[in-house]
Structure 1
């Protein structure tokens, strides 16, 4: 593992979780330890993950503890009753689970809490992103009309944030059925034909930080702000999609800096 890799940690994916696990087990090199320590100091979700890993380790050690091999005595050492070890392990594991639930990051994994609008956004991307002849209802050439039309249908002022910085231009958009009303989809495309979609609909929930929905090669970052649910979907890297989602959230009046 080189310094360049460890100095910039990826978003929560399998490699990232493996790195946190290695840090808990003291398996990282000096630069790797420093990078993870810095991340933990600024990321409460990762700190909760590490606390959970430690709790699980402690529970497993308690459950599978063995007597010392070098005991110089003709009598066998007293073993902790199995039911007591199991109880201790269960207690540590329960503490870890409660810590994860309290921090919020474990709850979606245990209860599969993916809001309906995020799932609809993912499906809408899967359906329309590959479309060649009719990917949108209204093309970007009529952007003013598109935004006015969708804003009226959703009864909320909408906008199509620019993603030119990332090489994506607006293709257009369409009206879609949402869970309890209309939804809007804006589509973007880069020079290589790769597409992103921004899904917007009204939701009856409080504001929430970024969450990730992953289906096959597709990733969707979704969030809720001021009664509206937003979801940015694509097949680019998770880290890059998250950066774009942060910029989109800011452009639409959200405050992603409070969620980093």
Structure 2
């Protein structure tokens, strides 16, 4: 055990903090590392100094607690060699440098990867909520598509394009306005002859960068493919099979101006 690992020597019961050498001597006494005159001197100090006696008692209590903690382990335990004071300082400095470097790296990476999962999760939840609806699946029906485009373009503060999925047998049902984390989002719903539904989610509220690489979010039978392009986040959700949904997402990305070549 190192003096670094020992319980605090502060407090009224144990008196003023002891010099590091004295603590090392008490630690060595507990670990049976002192011999001859050094051990006799340490034993005499413990016997005559209540603070030293209390420190040794605390060390032994900690040792006993550690032994009890690992008493039921089937494998033999590894005994750690006690580093010297200088080595402890060097180890602490290394951990500090590594911690700072990791923190800086995470700070640089989080803005790049933090946007997509949030809007993708919202798109997935919106699909789960509205896809089963029969009478109120959308706010504005496909019969009023021009109004739908004008309305949502104004709310998202950019020109909105509703891609056609007729090639895959899906017709537009309509759309609705939804709240995103920091602003509005749009959801367009499609349906095929078998009654299967897809939703395309668009948001500009939390998008800080372009990333047309496809990413996948799965929740049970639901799959969402999502990407970002021209400061818009897109998420296509459905339950029609992952391969077919990915093909539709690929074509949708191209139709909306994205470049899915690196998918």
Q: Deviations over 1:8-42 (max 9, x none)?
A: xxxxxxxxxxxxxxxxxxxxxxxxxxxxxxxxxxx
The correspondence for 2:242, drawn from 221, 232, 238, is 238
Report the equivalent of 2:215.
Answer: 211
Question: How many residues of Structure 1 are paired with residues of Structure 2 in the alignment?
Answer: 153
1:1-260 matches, within 5 Å, as 115-202=117-204, 203-208=206-211, 209-257=213-261, 259-260=262-263
Q: Aligned pair in 2 of structure 1 residues 237, 112: CA closer, same or farther (>3 Å)? A: farther
Contact 2:116/2:226, CA 8 A, preserved across alignment: no
Query: Residues 112 and 157 (structure 1 numbering): CA distance in 2 closer, same or farther, change over 3 Å?
Result: closer
Who wins on radius of gyration, i.e. which is larger? Answer: 2
Tell me which residue corresponds to 1:4.
Answer: none
Say what the alpha-carbon RMSD is for the aligned residues: 2.2
| Deviation of 1:207 (Å) | 1.6
Tell me by how many angstroms 1:205 deviates.
Answer: 2.4
In structure 2, list runs of 5 or more residues that go unmatched: 1-77, 79-108
The equivalent of 1:14 in structure 2 is none
| d(CA) in 1 for partners of 2:250, 2:195 | 22
Using the alignment, how far apart are the partners of 1:219 and 1:183 within structure 2? 19
Does the residue aligned with 2:234 lie in a helix, a strand or coil? strand
Contact persistence 1:205–1:224 (CA under 8 A)? no
Displacement of 1:112 in angstroms is 9.8
Q: TM-score, normalised by structure 1?
A: 0.56
Distance 2:230 2:257 in 1: 9
| 1:169 Cα deviation from its structure 2 partner | 0.1
**Contact 1:151-1:158 at 8 Å conserved across structures:** yes
| Cα distance change, pair 205–163 in 1 and its aligned pair in 2 (3 A) | same
Give the Cα–Cα distance (whole angstroms) in 1 for the partners of residues 167 and 197 of structure 2.
Answer: 15
- CA distance in 2 between counterparts of 1:185 and 1:221 reads 14
State the Cα deviation string for residues 212-254 of structure 1 (Å, max 9, x = none): 0000000000001111100000001111111100111111111
- Distance between the aligned counterparts of 2:183 and 2:116, measured in 1? 18
Contact 1:114 1:213 (C-alpha < 8 Å) held by counterparts: no
Distance 1:112 1:239, change over 3 A: farther
Deviation at 1:204, TM superposition (A): 2.9
